[in-house]
Amino acid sequence: MPLFKTIKPNKHTTIYVWKIEESLSDLSEIMPLTEKSEKRLASMKSELHQRGFLSVRHLLKHAGYSDSNLFYNSNGKPHLTDGKHISITHSFTFSAIAISDAPIGIDIEKNREKIKIIQHRFVNFEKGFIHKDDDYIEQLTVIWGAKESLYKIYPFGGLTFKNDIDINSFQIDDKKTTGYIKVEGWNKNYDIGFEQIDGFTLVYALDTSENE
């Protein structure tokens, strides 16, 4: 299918969302890839991952870029050749990219019962406000996605979700909250946006000083 959704959190940021319903052959058709990307695609054992990889290239095309405009630094973080910031995510049948003039992080996750089992790995400060009600899974998935998004923004790597990143109180209907990275030399606050899409949680993080 074509582009599923476009979100404009502010005047210099655009998020593109793709619902992956095409076959691998359909996604591959007329989609030029660099030699490096061809090798990376061929090395993927899961067709689901291959389709996610290719859907991201379709999103780049919608944003006015090609696969050759995307590169990764030594920490594995994506960059665009024109200097704009980019963040990439895909999960099962959805993928998304966020492109901005300022640092940005994005994550999409399927809402699954499994997150209740692993919450001890990433929930710390947030224990004070989450409640075991009808949207408990969604609350936990927002927290995970927000921390993943902030991890993607932080340029140096090495953060732990449980101890180095906190997400402030929210309700699912709010569709927004704030969070911060609390490591030495980097105490920064960020705006967090989130929404539910067909059983998935989309979360993105933006620098509060840039969110206008």
Model confidence over 40-84: pLDDT tens digits?
Answer: 999 999 999 999 999 999 999 999 999 999 999 988 899 999 999
Whether 212 is covered by a domain: the verdict is no
Whether residues 116 and 74 share a domain: the answer is no
Whether residues 113 and 98 share a domain: the answer is no
Whether 132 is covered by a domain: the verdict is yes
**The domain boundary residue, chosen from 105, 137, 166:** 105
Whether 189 is covered by a domain: the verdict is yes
CB 58 within 8 A of CB 96: no
The Cα 78–Cα 85 span in angstroms is 8
Tokens of 138: 């969604």
Whether residues 110 and 203 share a domain: the answer is yes
Whether 172 is covered by a domain: the verdict is yes
Structural domain for 46, as ranges: 3-105
Q: Is the pLDDT of residue 146 over 90?
A: yes
Residue % of the chain over a pLDDT of 90: 89
pTM, rounded to two decimals: 0.94
Whether residues 197 and 129 share a domain: the answer is yes
**The domain boundary residue, chosen from 90, 105, 120:** 105
Whether 16 is covered by a domain: the verdict is yes
Q: How far is CA 132 from CA 11, 137, 200, 203, in A?
A: 36, 8, 19, 21
Q: Say what the pLDDT of residue 211 is.
A: 53
Sign of the alpha-carbon dihedral angle for 74, 78, 82, 84 = negative
Confidence of residue 6 (pLDDT cuts 50, 70, 90): very high
Query: Which CATH number is 37's domain given?
Result: 3.90.470.20
Q: Is the pLDDT of residue 212 over 80?
A: no
Whether residues 98 and 166 share a domain: the answer is no
Instruction: Name the β-bridge partners of 106.
Output: 204
In our burial notation (b when 16+ CB lie closer than 10 A, e otherwise), range 90-110 reads bbebbbbbbbbebbbbbbbbe
Whether residues 87 and 151 share a domain: the answer is no
